[in-house]
């Protein structure tokens, strides 16, 4: 934790403007978005390459920060709540502008994807309307993914466990396994759905009646290599997303073979939501001048009836 | 007829040149020179589907997707995994042959996966559809009602929707499997199989969420990979029957893997 001593110059400004009202005082504090990010970078460490996903995505980094919000995904709904709550700096784990390019395609950034060119068209109506909304509300958006995920505390995992009420069941301090009170796969799935307020995003593969004790938590996207290496460690894997021809297929085959584990995917964003709540708690220890809150991005999916 | 002869016939009838560089469309396991007693087409050669094909006396499986849980069917890291031994053992013991047809189906005219997928969700006029998505216009309805129709017609338990159920929609873009199209200004609804949910080439989920929040009528349906590409494998079986008369050819569906 670093202190943020008020400089002599800042003190003079504060002292000289106390009577002049909130706006002047705000300027006096001059905690800009850029300064918040500089502090955050110093705390998190590591390299911050310009071509990486982390960085400012919208707004003016020089504006004074009134409040900070963290979220798994800076959707318009999340941004509306941030604006309403007076949080004008938003830290998002996932992109703001619909893909890895996070806006119109950038040069020097690998953004190969299926279905044609990547990045949004500069005149795309949703992109433009979102930019206008951000500008109108004076919001600054910064993407914080790689550096948050890289922390050795692995709070994307601990956050998810905390939301599920499983913190105390962790098997080893640095791992992703939790020994929960024994229940059926069906029971575990119902618990996960209810604790995370999921709507249509949850899908399970495997035996509903299987006896579950050891659960592996894998927020975000889980590769097939990870599943092959670790599936024998758990009775149930709770992941954000997988590729269906890879891990879903593998889990279905395990079920046919009468093997454990089951696989539950809860949706990428829903799986990352709790980790960004932990990020807000952590940020409060780094930035004390302004309020910091977490805004849930929630489960984007619903199911047809 | 041997497995190799079946594949040679398919290559001749495709109507497009065979691409020898396709790492997908190859024999995956089994002896290509074994006699074929019957052929099963399927979207995904799951262990369950494999057993049902064998029990039905169909020892050649033609699958659109992978056998060994990765696109290249690379088995290097799998040899110590019991499930791999079990699945390969089952194939070899029963003298089965697995061959994949993926890239060439998507290059064919029409692309049966798209034709079948459109038909399965009740969209007419797609009998000549190809991989490149085009907009189909249906009588205007709400997105919620359309999604209910998709549920009824496909019988899918677990497909996912994003967007406003009350949005008035009529223009549909569909791409099955992993080829979920990107939403455009020309479409109200995108239907896909699966897609990386965020941080990909184009994130339809966030785009549709935000479009709706910003007052635009949009919807997204993610059918699931199996549900979206499965129907076209019945079309493939039908097409193969037109030139393979001596061997029984059946469509053996893979089960939708999910419960909710």
pLDDT per residue, tens digit, chain A (305 aa), is 334 443 333 433 333 333 333 444 444 569 999 999 999 999 999 999 888 899 999 999 999 999 999 999 999 999 999 999 999 999 999 999 999 999 987 655 444 444 445 789 999 999 999 999 999 999 999 999 999 998 888 999 999 999 999 999 999 998 999 999 999 999 999 999 999 999 999 999 999 999 999 999 999 999 999 999 999 999 999 999 999 999 999 999 999 999 989 999 999 999 999 999 999 999 999 999 999 999 999 999 999 99
Distance (Å) of CA B117 to CA A184, B193, B235: 35, 10, 10
Q: Which of B147, B180, B209 comes nearest A304 by C-beta?
A: B147
Yes or no, beta carbons of B161 and A304 under 8 Å apart: yes
Of the listed ranges A1-10, B188-197, B245-254, the least confidently predicted one is A1-10
Yes or no, beta carbons of A301 and B162 under 8 Å apart: yes
Measured CA to CA, the distance from residue B225 to residue B232 in angstroms comes to 12
In this structure, is residue B247 part of a structural domain? no
By C-alpha distance, the chain A residue nearest B181 is: A115
Instruction: Kindly write down the DSSP assignment for every residue of A1-45, as one continuous string.
Output: ----PPPHHHHHHHHHHGGG-HHHHHHHH--BHHHHHHHHHHHH-
Domain stop point among B103, B133, B161: B103
pLDDT at A50: 85
List the domain boundaries for chain A.
9-148+273-294, 155-266
Q: Based on the fold, state whether residues B98 and B133 are members of the same structural domain.
A: no
Q: Based on the fold, state whether residues B19 and B81 are members of the same structural domain.
A: yes
* pLDDT tens sequence across B151-175: 999 999 999 999 999 999 999 999 9
Q: Based on the fold, state whether residues B95 and B182 are members of the same structural domain.
A: no
Residue numbers of the domain that contains B187: 112-227
Q: Based on the fold, state whether residues B145 and B99 are members of the same structural domain.
A: no
Measured CA to CA, the distance from residue A224 to residue A209 in angstroms comes to 25
Q: pTM here? A: 0.92
Residue A220, class by beta-carbon neighbours within 10 Å (0-12 exposed, 13-18 middle, 19+ buried)?
A: buried
In this structure, is residue B242 part of a structural domain? no
Measured CA to CA, the distance from residue A241 to residue B258 in angstroms comes to 13
In this structure, is residue B256 part of a structural domain? no
Q: Based on the fold, state whether residues B57 and B147 are members of the same structural domain.
A: no
User: Structurally, how many domains does chain B consist of?
Assistant: 2
Q: Tell me the shortest Cα–Cα distance from A80 to chain B, in angstroms.
A: 10
Q: Tell me the shortest Cα–Cα distance from B89 to chain A, in angstroms.
A: 12
Q: Based on the fold, state whether residues B55 and B134 are members of the same structural domain.
A: no
Q: Tell me the shortest Cα–Cα distance from A23 to chain B, in angstroms.
A: 30
Measured CA to CA, the distance from residue A49 to residue A62 in angstroms comes to 20
B191: β partners: B174, B221
Measured CA to CA, the distance from residue B71 to residue B103 in angstroms comes to 12
Task: Give the up-direction half-sphere exposure of residue A288: CA atoms within 13 A in the CB hemisphere.
Answer: 7
| CATH number for region A155-266 | 3.40.1390.30
CATH, residue B76: 3.40.1390.30
Q: Which of B178, B182, B210 comes nearest A75 by C-beta?
A: B210
- The CATH class, in words, for A9-148+273-294 is alpha beta
Measured CA to CA, the distance from residue A187 to residue A193 in angstroms comes to 10
Domain stop point among B103, B122, B143: B103
In this structure, is residue B239 part of a structural domain? no
pLDDT at A23: 46
Q: Based on the fold, state whether residues B122 and B93 are members of the same structural domain.
A: no
Asked, colleague to colleague, whether A9-148+273-294 and A155-266 share their fold, the answer is yes
Q: Based on the fold, state whether residues B56 and B158 are members of the same structural domain.
A: no
Q: Tell me the shortest Cα–Cα distance from A201 to chain B, in angstroms.
A: 7
Measured CA to CA, the distance from residue B162 to residue B181 in angstroms comes to 14
Q: Based on the fold, state whether residues B11 and B69 are members of the same structural domain.
A: yes
Domain stop point among B103, B124, B140: B103
Yes or no, beta carbons of A200 and B255 under 8 Å apart: no
By C-alpha distance, the chain B residue nearest A260 is: B83
Q: Based on the fold, state whether residues B90 and B136 are members of the same structural domain.
A: no
pLDDT at A165: 98
Yes or no, beta carbons of A95 and B198 under 8 Å apart: yes
Q: Based on the fold, state whether residues B137 and B59 are members of the same structural domain.
A: no
What are the start-end ranges of the H helices in chain B?
3-13, 47-55, 82-93, 103-107, 112-120, 143-154, 204-213, 225-229, 231-241
| DSSP SS3 for A249 | helix
In this structure, is residue B250 part of a structural domain? no
CB < 8 Å to B145, chain A: none
Q: Number of A:B CB contacts under 8 A?
A: 187
Q: Tell me the shortest Cα–Cα distance from B18 to chain A, in angstroms.
A: 23
Q: Based on the fold, state whether residues B78 and B135 are members of the same structural domain.
A: no
From the list B221, B241, B238, B256, the residue with the least C-alpha distance to B44 is B256
Q: Which of B70, B201, B259 comes nearest A118 by C-beta?
A: B201
CB < 8 Å to A202, chain B: 260
ipTM rounded to 2 decimals: 0.98
Please say if the pLDDT value at position B67 is more than 90. yes
HEC string for A120-165? CCCCCHHHHHHHHHHHHCCCEEEECCHHHHCCCCCHHHHHHHHHHC
Yes or no, beta carbons of A249 and B180 under 8 Å apart: no
CB < 8 Å to A302, chain B: 160-162, 165
């Amino acid at each position: 934790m670093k202190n943020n001593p008020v400089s002599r110059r800042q003190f003079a400004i504060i002292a000289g403007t106390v009577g002049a009202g909130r706006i002047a005082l705000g300027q006096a504090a001059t905690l800009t978005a850029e300064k918040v990010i500089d502090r955050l970078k110093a705390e998190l460490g590591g390299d911050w390459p310009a071509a990486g996903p982390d960085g400012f995505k919208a707004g003016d980094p020089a504006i004074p920060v009134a409040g900070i919000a963290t979220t798994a995904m800076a959707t318009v709904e999340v941004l509306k709540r941030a604006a309403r709550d007076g949080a004008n700096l938003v830290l998002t784990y996932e992109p703001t502008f619909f893909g890895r390019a996070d806006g119109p395609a950038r040069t020097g950034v690998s953004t190969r994807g299926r279905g044609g060119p990547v990045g949004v068209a500069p005149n795309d109506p949703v992109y433009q309307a979102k930019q206008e909304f951000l500008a109108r509300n004076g919001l600054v958006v910064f993407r914080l993914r790689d550096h948050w995920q890289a922390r050795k505390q692995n709070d994307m995992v601990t956050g998810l466990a905390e939301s599920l009420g499983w913190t105390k069941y962790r098997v080893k301090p640095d791992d992703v396994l939790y020994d929960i009170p024994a229940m059926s796969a069906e029971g575990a799935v119902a618990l996960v759905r209810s604790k995370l307020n999921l709507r249509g995003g949850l899908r399970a593969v495997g035996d509903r009646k299987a006896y579950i004790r050891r659960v592996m938590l894998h927020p975000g996207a889980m590769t097939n290599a990870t599943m092959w290496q670790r599936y024998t460690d758990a009775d149930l894997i709770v992941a954000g997303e997988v590729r269906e021809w890879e891990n879903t297929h593998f889990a279905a085959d395990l079920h046919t073979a009468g093997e454990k584990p089951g696989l539950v995917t809860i949706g990428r964003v829903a799986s990352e939501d709790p980790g960004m709540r932990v990020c807000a708690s952590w940020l409060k220890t780094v930035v004390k001048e302004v309020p910091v809150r977490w805004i849930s991005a929630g489960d984007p999916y619903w199911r047809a009836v | 007829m041997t497995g190799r002869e079946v594949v040679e016939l398919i290559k001749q009838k495709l109507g497009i040149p065979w691409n020898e560089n396709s790492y997908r469309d190859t024999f995956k396991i089994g002896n290509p020179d074994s006699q074929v007693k019957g052929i099963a087409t399927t979207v995904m050669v799951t262990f369950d589907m494999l057993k049902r094909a064998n029990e039905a006396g169909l020892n050649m499986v033609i699958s659109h997707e992978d056998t060994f849980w990765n696109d290249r069917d690379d088995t290097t890291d799998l040899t110590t995994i019991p499930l791999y031994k079990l699945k390969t053992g089952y194939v070899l013991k029963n003298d089965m042959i697995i061959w994949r047809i993926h890239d060439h189906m998507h290059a064919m005219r029409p692309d049966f996966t798209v034709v079948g997928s459109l038909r399965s969700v009740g969209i007419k006029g797609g009998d000549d559809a190809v991989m490149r998505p085009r907009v189909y216009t249906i009588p205007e309805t709400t997105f919620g009602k359309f999604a209910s129709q998709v549920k009824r017609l496909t019988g899918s338990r677990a497909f996912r929707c994003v967007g406003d159920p009350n949005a008035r929609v009529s223009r549909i873009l569909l791409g099955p499997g992993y080829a979920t199209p990107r939403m455009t200004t020309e479409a109200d609804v995108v239907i896909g199989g699966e897609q990386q949910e965020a941080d990909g080439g184009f994130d339809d989920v966030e785009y549709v969420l935000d479009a709706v929040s910003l007052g635009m009528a949009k919807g997204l349906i993610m059918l699931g990979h199996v549900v979206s590409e499965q129907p076209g494998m019945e079309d493939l079986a039908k097409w193969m029957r037109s030139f393979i008369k001596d061997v029984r050819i059946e469509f053996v569906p893979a089960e939708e893997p999910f419960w909710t």
